[in-house]
Chains A and B, each alone.
Chain A
Amino acid sequence: MEKIVIPKSKSSPEVIMDYENGLLEIIGESYPENSLGFYKPVYDWLNKCIQDKIQLKVNFKLNYFNTSSSKCVIDILDSLDKYYSNSGIVEINWYYEEDDDDMKETGEEFSSDLKAPFQLVYY
């Protein structure tokens, strides 16, 4: 399966889906008009990886996201958490800028109900 890269736009983040390395990266700002539509390929890719039981590393490097995108992030995290509970190997990294307390706190909120390994990483 080839590496898929969705380039970033004004309101949507760059998304890298690298099946060979089990790597998913979401980078930038996320407030697309149709969040569900935008994240649909991500869900599909993720489901395929989970189905194939590959080791996954997911990096969130977001600066801003709207509430609809937030819901999509929750859905991605829920999928990863279920996969982890079913013995899948998952690593989730939540990147935030060193002074960005909001993004750090949001990451903490997202991780509060998760069992899968979730790292807060500042850059």
Chain B
Amino acid sequence: MGYEPLVQQNPLRVLNMGRENNQMGLVMARAGLGKTALLVQIALDAILRGKRVIHVSIGETIDKTKSWYDDILQLILQEHSINKPHELIDMVAHHRMIMTFKVAAFTRSRLEERLNDLILQDIFRPNCLIVDGFDFESTDREALEDIKNLMESMNMQAWFSATHHRDDSRISPTGVPAPCHEIDDLFDMIILLKPERDATIQLDIIRNYGAQVEGGKGLLLDPTTMMVKEI
């Protein structure tokens, strides 16, 4: 596509994550650390590699979600001199679709119906699904397995975000905090974001391509862009 150099500061490229289809990823952090920004980076990473992304935003507006993309794209454009910025912006618009749901309206059957609407009419064939704001607290294992199966049958990658609370100390033996401590085996990639004292964010990988990563791999991110500070 010619845009690959643009994603070199994207954490996923640095970590070499999320290349393959059929995988489920999870980004965990406390509120306000930049889960959405990281998910948007993950989406842009896929889009700039020519994939199509559906961004599901639960409890957010279309405009707000879109402005996340616009902002981060602007930053990328500022850092790299690009010949025809409009073409890049258009290309992102064509490869992304935003779906926003009220909290209660998001279910597997609804999702499947929407995806089928798009695919059967040949409107949009997504390769990657981003789910921001998924309610893990009140979801059981079965519902999530259901979505995992759906993703497998559609040959799609999926990334979720989950918020963990400071006062909830439950944690899985592999180091995944609540509310995902009992379902962490469903994910092939797990990233944990932690605040650092110098106002940067540390990104730890707990699992990559299904394999446990011991001691994480510290990577410092710029908190406004979620891009890697130093390579």
User: Do A and B form a real pair?
Assistant: no
